[in-house]
Structure 1
């Protein structure tokens, strides 16, 4: 039995080297028992972040780690709206909750931590503009700059227009997207009618 426990602990250590943030079911899937996870927590090898979510104790805390945690908790979701805007460096707004878009058909979890704000998108708005960024060992799906701008302009009831315009201006000034790709995403994302006057005004002297 001692040999079996040791083997599982070694397996756990190896798995955590490649995956600093893990869900309990991922560990059980590779044959690590709940009791082994519990002992690792008691021994300080891993930290329980929230129910069913664990982090390697010696992991450097990334300022964007909450995005990785949210991605683990909402596996079918995509970091969106103001959280995506902040990730891309296009707003000074730091949302208190992490905005995660999910398909209207998908289940929306409500974890205590990290605080998550779910926004439901129709299928056609979930299929495009997804990028994957490596954060704390997790490939986090985040909507692109152009897609995020289209989403924010389209959902004016959820996000103040001033934040949308700020993000659009920053994207142009920082050259993180061209006017043509922004316009293309806005047309495809149902936001062109709303965004057009702002984009034209900001590029009038370009």
Structure 2
């Protein structure tokens, strides 16, 4: 029988690793615990570990959430990621499948979370994937993020939605993408007044770039 791989070698990639994957690689629970107790690796969340160096990876909380929940980073967190907000939200906004995870509590991760539950089909519209710490992290696209901020303006505020829409226009992005996504998720009528104003103001907003 070959010896188990060295923990330091496994974690040299600074990626997040699940305990189940470490066990499959031949590492015992005791070996993992000893390494964590010694500070060689960090238990970032229940069943999720990373090297001390990997702990500094930008967006690691988003990666850990995605590893555990397999949903989509959305709303305020997506806006901050895309540069549509100056705010760094104290909680991670994360959308999960309402049908599969309707009773799920937020995972025990270092940064607090705010879960929203969407139908499975809404988790596929206007979503992009970025790899962080070895994890495929799904984000709502800039256009989808603007649509959602307008939809959730009652919770996140009119000012947050207006700023995201203005920043989107100022970036030179296509307003038609917002129209298309709003129609695809069935909120086009509700968003029409906001988007008509954005179209009228687009030339003056774009001039401020």
TM-score, normalization by structure 1: 0.86
CA contact (8 A) 1:151 1:189 kept: no
- In 1, the alpha carbon distance for the partners of 2:43 and 2:151 equals 38
Quick check: 1:54 aligned with 2:25? no
Contact 1:85 1:91 in 2 (8 A): yes
How many pairs were matched up?
199
1:202 offset after TM fit, Å?
2.3
Q: How far apart are 1:66 and its partner, in Å? A: 1.6
Q: Measure, in 2, the Cα distance between the counterparts of 1:121 and 1:58.
A: 35
- Tell me by how many angstroms 1:9 deviates: 4.2
Contact 1:8 1:36 in 2 (8 A): no
Aligned to 1:67: 62
Partner of 1:116: 113
- Write the deviation string for residues 66-92 of structure 1: whole angstroms up to 9, x where unpaired: 211221222x21111111111101011
Provide the residue aligned with 1:25 in structure 2.
Answer: 20
Identify the structure with the greater helix proportion: 2
Aligned-residue RMSD, C-alpha: 2.1
Distance 1:109 1:14 in 2: 34
Q: CA deviation at 1:46?
A: 0.6
- Name the CA distance, whole Å, in 2 between partners of 1:9 and 1:45: 15
1:20: Cα distance to partner?
Answer: 1.7
1:106 to 80, 84, 100: 100
Tell me, what secondary structure is at the counterpart of 1:158?
A: helix
* Secondary structure, counterpart of 1:8 in structure 2: coil
Change (3 A) 1:139 1:150: same
Match of 1:133 among 125, 130, 135: 130
Query: Can you list the C-alpha shifts for 1:154-201, whole angstroms capped at 9, x where unaligned?
Result: 2333322221111111111012x3011111111112232232222222
Which residue of structure 2 aligns with residue 183 of structure 1? 179
Alpha carbons of structure 1 residues 44 and 8: separation in structure 2 relative to 1, 3 Å? farther
Name stretches of at least 5 consecutive residues in structure 2 with no aligned partner: 204-209
2:169 equivalent to 1:172: yes
TM-score after normalising by structure 2: 0.84
